[in-house]
Structure 1
Amino acid sequence: MRFVLVSFFSLFFALSIGAQPRADEYIDVVFLRGGNSVEGTLIEYAYGKSVTLVTEGGDTETFAWKDIRRVNFRLDKRRLEEIRDDIREELAEIEAEEEQATEAPEVINRKFLHQVTGFIALGQNPSGFRGRNVTTIGGGVAYHLYRQTKVLNFGVGVDVTMMSHFRRENILALTGQIEYPLSRKAHRITPFLRAEVGPAIPFGTPEADEEISQRNVSALIHPSVGIHFAPSGGKTGGVTVDLGYRFMDASFTITNSSLDVIERTVNYRRLCLRGGLRF
């Protein structure tokens, strides 16, 4: 019986000793933020301040807390190279992200944008010769302060229009714009529907010896369909082109050099091709 007990405890002790890894298979490792690591025996660990260890070569080194990425106590030497590889991959990913951030263009997201537009208008006016109509060429420029949302775009601004280059009839309007993009996704090219409305008033001198003595405010209506060309790199703004029709009934009183008073009402109907810059 005694022999059996002695044999059992001897076998248990031998297995216990064999299961314990040797001390030289473990090491303390300090991994630095620059990607390097130092192995040795840790002799001082001041959390938040510094770490001191004796290297395998016998040197004593102290590292500031801000320079340390991680500290491993009694690390299995067989896992040391695996951890180094993981840290190298992590540093490579960080460097790649920093490089992409450096190369990526600066994207400025503002609540409001500026929009400047210009257009050419074509229409028909009676010439007084055998009752025929002649093509009238006009044009204009406008400025709007624009706000882009996820569903609609809104703008408010000033519109100056030369309705007829023959009669020198001009219109000044305070208008608002509503724009509906036909695509919800961000594309370089997006079609849209736009409506521009607002009060307008005529100005200028129709003829050299005539003067507009009285002006009446009327409504300007301009529906259109167009395309928005967005800049690359996800930047805001872009270029717009649209085709539409401009309606306005203007009434004003003209006094000529003979003091004759002429009441005029003009029904403007103009096909407009417009281009704009949004920034």
Structure 2
Amino acid sequence: EARRSAQILIVSGVVNAYLALAADREALQLAETTLETQTVAYDLIKRRADVGLASELALNQAQTQVDTARRNIAVYTQLAAQDENALTLLVGSPSPLPGELLPANLESVRPPKEISPGLSSEVLLLRPDILAAEHQLKAANAYIGAARAAFFPRISLTAAVGTASSELSGLFNSGQGTWGFAPQIVMPIFDARLWSAYDVTIAEREIAVAQYERAIQTAFREVADALAVAGTVDQQVSAQQSLVDALARTYRISVARYTKGIDNYLGVLDAQRSLYTAEQVLIALRLGKLANQVRLYAVLGGGSD
């Protein structure tokens, strides 16, 4: 179990580091694009200011935006370098990884295969924590088959792709979210014939059972939480993309209105800040979606196959 647990931890760590690098590189690209846009805007306002068509305030505001973009580039350059160093360390490479192995941005990341509908809960029996708890039961002379029959819910974890099944949701009491599965003890869990041969107390047996129940509850809870994210994250990404598109149109309109002398530069500033913030949120949501798929890999015990 320790080896499998370490393997899951290492794989998850490497993939998450890879995703962090992809996200920070995309944020760097966004900052660089923003700097180009702000530099063009500054040059326009400078020309207008030179002939008295723009105020010194507008020019200073434009300069502030340029400096902010330059700072953001420095920040994300640093973060991307740190991400790359962390990834190199995690994979155990003695030298920097070749550029062709590194992601350019989140768009370049190949998404993992979606979890199929009707995934059996039996995949959770391979989780290191559940295996470890079963070994403790064996040490207390328990019948593992009987323990599984009593405490382990045999259900489908998923309904449609990426969503939790009603059976999984039904394991938790509505409103409270507490564990609602009742043990189904139909045969003895412990071999009474061996109690006298081995020094196993009643308290030790009860502790082993409690730890087994807790491991099972933790497994199903973690899967339910990860599937809850998977079931809504696409909607969040879609809504945020729509917001980014709308704010991009607002920004273009505000620039046109300022150029024609209809509005002052404050409207352009507000539109640009809102757009940049929304684009950053979109990157974070897309990263969160991929990171949650890594989380699903881990909570399913290292895969769903």
TM-score bracket relative to the smaller structure: under 0.3
More strand by share: 1
Give the TM-score normalised by the residue count of structure 2: 0.23
Give the TM-score normalised by the residue count of structure 1: 0.24
More helix by share: 2
Of structures 1 and 2, the larger Rg is shown by 1
